[in-house]
């Protein structure tokens, strides 16, 4: 085991002016994520180039299809920018919830690959309530749907926490198993099981009108040449923002948040400090599961209004891992990263359809971002170029991340609040 790294030293007062310190801290905070994204786009461009494509056309497609920029020229003038932005909001919504569901356990030193299964169970439970009590009025039914989805996700996450706390079963394997169990349970329900809509393959009935979250744009008219109904952005994104704020307050302003971070940094030290590690692990996974379960509930209430196979087959829970890592496990970072990956997912088909470059380029970019953040290539690169060095030598030592826990240790976002919590 490597000796634990000293937390980043706070600059001595009087040595440098505060704005400069803040600027440096900000630079360290966002430098690695932004550098990783740029690095991944460069690798992506190289891959497009050597396979005989045009990277500029491809990336124009990603910008146009994701955020509605540069939709000009022969290739992309048929795209409606506002519609692409609306779709990006739709995709970002579950990614924020699940990104938070991965990030919170990361803070406690746990790796939650199970956001997918937790989302699936949340969607199943939410849909079951929304269908069964379809006649209830909205002010009761909508909260009921969201709360039940949240609880189902929490239960699914809680299993992981209990197994980890009492038997030491590794959460990576238990979450993978629970993902499969949730997926097959969903398949069973929709393939001849009790929730299948009679005579229809692999979908359920619709939830009641009262269970539906309102869209931002309503009506029967047209907007930018498209019927308003196709702009599916819904108010679930506001719930996602609220949960992100909750995540921030929980981590930074509550005793539980302090315990989670303490357990994540050093379990033994946390135990000596009187923190029940088992209890903290279980509560962390309960809350994480709740976040992901709420994602399922919000998707049912805001987007699909019915249960489909997609709730087990899409890649939301895995994209969430990239979201959490790119977002440095912090609320604002996760929101930004969720929008980035949502934009890429929405833009992929546009790029494929119009520039003939496979949308799987998006997966490649996502993987390279993960590699880059995990391996911290950029930091290593900086060491090799001493002329570029900005920070004192000690701080540039290669990251020694023995576990996710220690990866957290070296995170630059921590030192700011070590003082007020210790």
Partner 1 sequence: MQLIGQILHLLITPALWQTTLESGVLLLLPALGGVISERSGVVNIAMEGMMLTGAFAAVAVAEVTGNPWISTLVAIAAGGLMAVIHAVVSIRFRADQIISGVAINIFAFGITAFLNSKITNFQGFNPVKPSAQLPYLHIPILDKIPFFGPIFFDQNIIVYVGLFLLVAVQFMLFRTRLGLRIRAVGEHPQAADTAGINVYSIRYGSVIASGLLSGLAGAFLAIGITNVFNDGMTDGRGYIALAAMIFGKWTPIGSFVACLIFGLGTSIVANNSTLNVSRDLLSMLPYILTLVVLAGLVGKSIPPAADGQPYTPGSE
Which residues contribute to the site for partner 1 (CB under 8 A)? 1-3, 47, 51-52, 111, 113, 159, 163, 167-170, 172-174, 176-178, 180-181, 184-185, 187-188, 191-193, 318, 321-322, 325, 352, 358, 360-364, 366-368, 370-371, 373-377, 380, 398-404, 407
Taking the complex as a whole, the smallest distance from the CB of residue 121 to partner 1 amounts, in Å, to 13
φ, ψ (nearest 5 deg) of residue 99? -60, -45
Question: In terms of DSSP bridges, do strands 226-227 and 222-223 run parallel, antiparallel, or are they unpaired?
Answer: antiparallel
CB closer to partner 1 out of 162 and 246: 162
CB closer to partner 1 out of 113 and 145: 113
Is there a contact between 168 and 154 (Cβ–Cβ < 8 Å)?
Answer: no
CB closer to partner 1 out of 71 and 325: 325
Question: In terms of DSSP bridges, do strands 306-308 and 203-206 run parallel, antiparallel, or are they unpaired?
Answer: antiparallel
For residue 40, how far is the Cα from the chain centroid? 18
CB closer to partner 1 out of 167 and 222: 167
Is there a contact between 70 and 63 (Cβ–Cβ < 8 Å)?
Answer: yes
Distance in angstroms (rounded) separating the CA atoms of residues 198 and 217: 32
Taking the complex as a whole, the smallest distance from the CB of residue 351 to partner 1 amounts, in Å, to 12
Taking the complex as a whole, the smallest distance from the CB of residue 186 to partner 1 amounts, in Å, to 8
CB closer to partner 1 out of 192 and 419: 192
Please name which of 322, 367, 335, 357 lies closest in space to residue 60, comparing C-alpha atoms: 357
Please name which of 301, 283, 329 lies closest in space to residue 123, comparing C-alpha atoms: 301
Bridge partners (DSSP) of residue 226 are 223
CB closer to partner 1 out of 165 and 275: 165
Q: What is the number of alpha carbons within 13 Å of residue 196 lying toward its C-beta?
A: 13
Taking the complex as a whole, the smallest distance from the CB of residue 265 to partner 1 amounts, in Å, to 15
Taking the complex as a whole, the smallest distance from the CB of residue 58 to partner 1 amounts, in Å, to 11
Alpha helices per DSSP H over 300-403: 310-313, 316-326, 331-355, 361-375, 377-384
- DSSP letter at 231 equals -
Distance in angstroms (rounded) separating the CA atoms of residues 114 and 187: 17
Distance in angstroms (rounded) separating the CA atoms of residues 331 and 335: 6
Taking the complex as a whole, the smallest distance from the CB of residue 51 to partner 1 amounts, in Å, to 5
Taking the complex as a whole, the smallest distance from the CB of residue 191 to partner 1 amounts, in Å, to 6
Bridge partners (DSSP) of residue 306 are 206
Taking the complex as a whole, the smallest distance from the CB of residue 98 to partner 1 amounts, in Å, to 14
CB closer to partner 1 out of 11 and 162: 162
Taking the complex as a whole, the smallest distance from the CB of residue 111 to partner 1 amounts, in Å, to 5
CB closer to partner 1 out of 154 and 186: 186
- DSSP letter at 241 equals H
The enclosing H or E element of 204 equals strand 203-206
CB closer to partner 1 out of 154 and 368: 368
CA distances from 112 to 51, 165, 173 (A): 35, 14, 10
Distance in angstroms (rounded) separating the CA atoms of residues 68 and 88: 10
CB closer to partner 1 out of 89 and 182: 182
Instruction: Give the pair of three-digit tokens for residue 133.
Output: 């009590």
Taking the complex as a whole, the smallest distance from the CB of residue 12 to partner 1 amounts, in Å, to 29
Alpha helices per DSSP H over 214-276: 236-253, 255-265, 267-272
């Amino acid at each position: 085991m490597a000796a634990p790294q000293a937390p980043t030293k706070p600059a001595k007062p009087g040595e440098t002016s505060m704005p400069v310190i803040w600027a440096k801290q900000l630079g360290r905070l966002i430098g690695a994520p932004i550098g990783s994204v740029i690095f991944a786009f460069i690798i992506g461009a190289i891959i497009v180039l050597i396979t005989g494509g045009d990277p500029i056309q491809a990336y124009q497609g990603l910008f146009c299809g994701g955020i509605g920029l540069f939709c000009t020229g022969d290739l992309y003038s048929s795209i409606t920018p506002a519609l692409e932005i609306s779709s990006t909001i739709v995709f970002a919504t579950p990614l924020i919830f699940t990104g938070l569901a991965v990030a919170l356990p990361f803070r406690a030193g746990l790796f939650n690959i199970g956001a997918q299964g937790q989302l699936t169970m949340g969607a199943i439970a939410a849909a079951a309530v929304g269908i069964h009590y379809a006649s209830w009025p909205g002010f009761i039914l909508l909260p009921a749907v969201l709360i039940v989805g949240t609880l189902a996700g929490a239960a699914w996450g809680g299993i992981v926490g209990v197994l980890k706390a009492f038997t030491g079963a590794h959460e990576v394997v238990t979450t993978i198993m629970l993902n499969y169990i949730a997926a097959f349970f969903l398949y069973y329900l929709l393939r001849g099981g009790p929730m299948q809509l009679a005579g229809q393959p692999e979908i359920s009935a619709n939830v009641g009108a009262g269970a539906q979250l309102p869209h931002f744009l309503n009506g029967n008219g047209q907007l930018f040449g498209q019927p308003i109904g196709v702009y599916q952005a819904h108010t679930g994104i506001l719930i996602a923002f609220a949960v992100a704020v909750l995540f921030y307050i929980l981590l930074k302003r509550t005793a539980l948040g302090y315990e989670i971070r303490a357990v994540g940094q050093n379990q033994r030290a946390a135990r000596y400090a009187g923190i029940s590690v088992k209890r903290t692990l279980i509560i962390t996974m309960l809350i994480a599961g709740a976040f992901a379960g709420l994602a399922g509930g919000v998707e049912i209430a805001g987007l699909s209004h019915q249960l489909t196979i997609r709730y087990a087959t899409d890649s939301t829970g895995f994209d969430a891992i990239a979201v959490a890592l790119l977002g440095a496990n912090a609320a604002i970072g996760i929101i930004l990263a969720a929008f980035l990956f949502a934009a890429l997912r929405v833009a992929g088909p546009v790029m494929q359809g119009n520039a003939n470059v496979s949308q799987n380029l998006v997966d490649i970019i996502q993987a390279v971002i993960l590699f880059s953040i995990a391996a911290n290539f950029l930091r290593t690169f900086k060491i090799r170029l001493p002329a570029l060095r900005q920070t004192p030598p000690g701080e540039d030592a290669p990251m020694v991340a023995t576990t996710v826990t220690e990866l957290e240790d070296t995170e630059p976002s921590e030192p700011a609040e070590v003082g007020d919590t210790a």
